[in-house]
Amino acid sequence: MKKKKGRVYVWNLSARIIHWMIAISFTTAFITSFYENKLHEHVALGFIFGIMIIYRIIWGFIGPQYAQFKHFMLKPTDFILYFKEKVQNRWRKIPAGHNPASSWFTVWVMIMGIILVVSGLLLYGIQEAKGVLAYLNDTNTEYIGILDNIHLCAAYIFVIWVVIHITGVLIEQFWHKTHMVFAMITGYKKTNGKNTTVSQPLLFFSLSFIIMGILTYLFIVSSNYNFLTTQKFIDLEYEEIHPAYFNSCGGNVGKCHKPYPPYILPKKSWKKIMSSLDNHRGIKITDANISKSKQESILKFLLDNSAENSTREASVKMMNSLGKLRPKAITKTPYWRETHKNIPRSVYKSKEVKDKSNCFACHKNFEYGNLDDMNIKRSY
């Protein structure tokens, strides 16, 4: 790289690209986390972020001088001196590599990045029963709350740290006039030192990670399910699993309502519902409608597949929210109210929905026991 007077070529092109891939993937993943039906995109972005974090850790050992961890300024005395000089001398000379603040920021990004990725993968496997760790859903659902809190806290700590970092860069740009904003655009820093040189093998290594990140994202979003996002729970054919339940309580024969998945309510709730069929959704159901033997068979089916006996996300969170409550309707549960609190009341009066209990209007394939986040038809 040709030497420019008063400028040092610090960040090569691949390093700058990966820097922005980390920034953009985290930002967009953070935004999509607020939308249940964007989980698929959130996971794809998380994979990019994770791949780039792995790259940056490796790059810290094998990369050029300014990127290597051994050249970071991590001594507390260096950190204190840096801020003293920053306050006292507006025109001080900045180092070509990482200053103490950016050194600590980079290390913190690596730590929080690892926590975010690992907790995210574990949550995806245990809570959503998806991905390569879906098998963990069988016996580890009690850790969902802990993992969720870890993932959430790490994300917000990361955001705060990024805001501090951006603030520091802007101070350098507009107060100290070091042109710091452009360093990760042009690769040059306004200082003295040797230009960065990167060998062909290292360039190939960087390019392979860039391509890997992009292809992984495209691979995930190109289809609903693949080996990275495969799901443990599949659609259930209630007509085949329990014809009496399907035909008496839903389907084309019963014409009462579509079959609700048994895992959405606990045993006592199903018992209450089945013991009050004389006024079931405004309809009086007698032995003439559904024989006693069928009623007993349906109740057994509902109890055997109730929320207590399921490791699905909705079942686990439903049971955790209920305490001693055992309501007859899902819309009366704390879990349902919490997950639907941002939906305007007008939606439930629309022609498509009509009623709060019409889960089928917004959840595609709900009648097949499918409560997958990406099957939510709309987001409010």
pLDDT recorded at residue 256: 65
pLDDT recorded at residue 285: 83
Ramachandran area for residue 313 (φ above 0: left; ψ -120 to 50: alpha; else beta): alpha
Instruction: Name, in order, each residue with C-beta under 8 angstroms of 162's C-beta and a sequence gap of 6 or more.
Output: 23, 26
- 117 and 51 within one domain: yes
Helices (H), the chain: 13-32, 39-62, 76-88, 100-126, 144-174, 183-186, 200-221, 238-241, 243-249, 251-254, 267-274, 292-304, 313-322, 334-339, 345-348
- 247 and 149 within one domain: no
The answer to whether position 233 is within a domain reads no
- 247 and 107 within one domain: no
- 263 and 124 within one domain: no
Give the residue-averaged pLDDT of 130-140.
Answer: 95
Nearest by Cα to 348 from 357, 335, 337 = 357
pLDDT recorded at residue 129: 96
- 31 and 130 within one domain: yes
The answer to whether position 199 is within a domain reads yes
pLDDT recorded at residue 2: 58
Question: pLDDT at residue 255 above 60?
Answer: no
Q: pLDDT grade, residue 306 (50/70/90)?
A: very high
- 119 and 212 within one domain: yes
Question: pLDDT at residue 119 above 90?
Answer: yes
pLDDT recorded at residue 23: 96
Say how far apart CA 134 and CA 128 lie, in whole Å: 8
What share of the chain in percent tops pLDDT 70?
Answer: 97
Q: What angle do CA 64, 170, 155 make, to 5 degrees?
A: 75
- 71 and 171 within one domain: yes
Please check whether residue 49 is in contact with residue 83, taking contact to mean a CB–CB distance below 8 angstroms.
no
The answer to whether position 328 is within a domain reads yes
Say how far apart CA 373 and CA 67 lie, in whole Å: 40
Question: pLDDT at residue 250 above 80?
Answer: no
pLDDT tens-digit map of 313-340: 999 999 999 999 999 999 999 999 999 9
Looking up residue 98, the CATH number of its domain turns out to be: 1.20.950.20
What share of the chain in percent tops pLDDT 90?
Answer: 76
**pTM for the full predicted model:** 0.89
pLDDT recorded at residue 254: 43
Task: Give me the number of domains the chain comprises.
Answer: 2
Sign of the C-alpha dihedral computed for residues 308, 251, 299 and 285 taken in this order: positive
Say how far apart CA 329 and CA 285 lie, in whole Å: 18
Rounded to 5 degrees, φ, ψ at 349 are -100, 0
| Exposure string over 267-280, b if 16+ CB within 10 A, otherwise e | bbbbbebbeebeeb
Q: pLDDT grade, residue 253 (50/70/90)?
A: very low
Domain termination residue (choose one: 179, 196, 221)? 221
Q: What Å distances lie between residue 227 and 75, 173, 231, 276, CA to CA?
A: 44, 45, 9, 45
pLDDT tens-digit map of 188-235: 999 999 999 999 999 999 999 999 999 999 999 998 888 899 899 999
Tokens 């603030």, residue? 167
Please check whether residue 241 is in contact with residue 261, taking contact to mean a CB–CB distance below 8 angstroms.
no
Per the structure block, which two tokens stand in for 281?
Answer: 């959704």
pLDDT recorded at residue 252: 46
More confident residue, 280 or 144: 144
- 200 and 283 within one domain: no
Lowest mean pLDDT of 19-23, 148-152, 179-183, name the range.
Answer: 179-183
pLDDT recorded at residue 379: 52
- 213 and 254 within one domain: no
The answer to whether position 380 is within a domain reads no
pLDDT tens-digit map of 36-65: 889 999 999 999 999 999 999 999 999 999
The answer to whether position 227 is within a domain reads no
- 246 and 208 within one domain: no
pLDDT tens-digit map of 170-190: 999 999 999 899 999 999 999
Give the residue-averaged pLDDT of 263-277.
Answer: 94
Domain that holds residue 152: 8-221
pLDDT tens-digit map of 155-174: 999 999 999 999 999 999 99
- 261 and 124 within one domain: no
Say how far apart CA 105 and CA 100 lie, in whole Å: 9
The answer to whether position 111 is within a domain reads yes
The answer to whether position 229 is within a domain reads no
Question: pLDDT at residue 16 above 50?
Answer: yes
Q: pLDDT grade, residue 258 (50/70/90)?
A: confident
Give the residue-averaged pLDDT of 351-377.
Answer: 90
The answer to whether position 102 is within a domain reads yes
- 332 and 367 within one domain: yes
Nearest by Cα to 9 from 1, 19, 17 = 1
Rounded to 5 degrees, φ, ψ at 355 are -150, 150
Nearest by Cα to 86 from 178, 218, 210 = 178
The DSSP result for 134-169, as a single string, is GGGGGT-GGGHHHHHHHHHHHHHHHHHHHHHHHHHH
Question: pLDDT at residue 251 above 70?
Answer: no
pLDDT recorded at residue 294: 93
Give the residue-averaged pLDDT of 106-126.
Answer: 97
Instruction: Give strand pairing partners of 380.
Output: none
